[in-house]
Amino acid sequence: LAKTTQPISMDSYEGQEVNITCSHNNIATNDYITWYQQFPSQGPRFIIQGYKTKVTNEVASLFIPADRKSSTLSLPRVSLSDTAVYYCLVGGSSGSARQLTFGSGTQLTVLP
């Protein structure tokens, strides 16, 4: 299983763009990169997923360089409600979702 490394914590201010980088040096060819968000006392919630280049949805963008050894979650113009733990996961597409590993995640704190 590909191991991921993320910063333990990050602080930002409302209205700023936040970029959280995840390292996954031993990512396998068929692995996808998925990000989840977790608020206190709640279960994780899917944010975005990608395989290469750039993916964008209504809440975030995911940038993946050509070597795929890292990825960056970008949250545009964060608000106080974006304060949460963000997890980067790497897993294959061959039914190995059950092997997904959640690391310690990145605690993002948005300040007023």
Both tokens of 34, joined, read: 């998925």
Structure-token match 């959640």, residue found: 102
Query: Does position 95 bind other proteins by CB under 8 A?
Result: yes
Provide the minimum distance between the beta carbon of 14 and other proteins in the complex, in angstroms, as a whole number.
25
Using the minimum distance from each CB to other proteins, give the nearer residue, 44 or 74: 44
Q: Is 79 in the site for other proteins (CB under 8 A)?
A: no
Q: Which residues pair with 92 in a beta bridge?
A: 31
Site string for other proteins, 33-72 (x = CB under 8 A): -x------xxxxxx--x-----------------------
Q: Are 73 and 88 in contact (CB under 8 A)?
A: yes
Q: Which whole-number Å values give the CA distances from 101 to 15, 19, 33, 35, 80, in the listed order?
A: 31, 21, 11, 12, 27
Interface residue list for other proteins (CB under 8 A): 31-32, 34, 41-46, 49, 87, 91-105
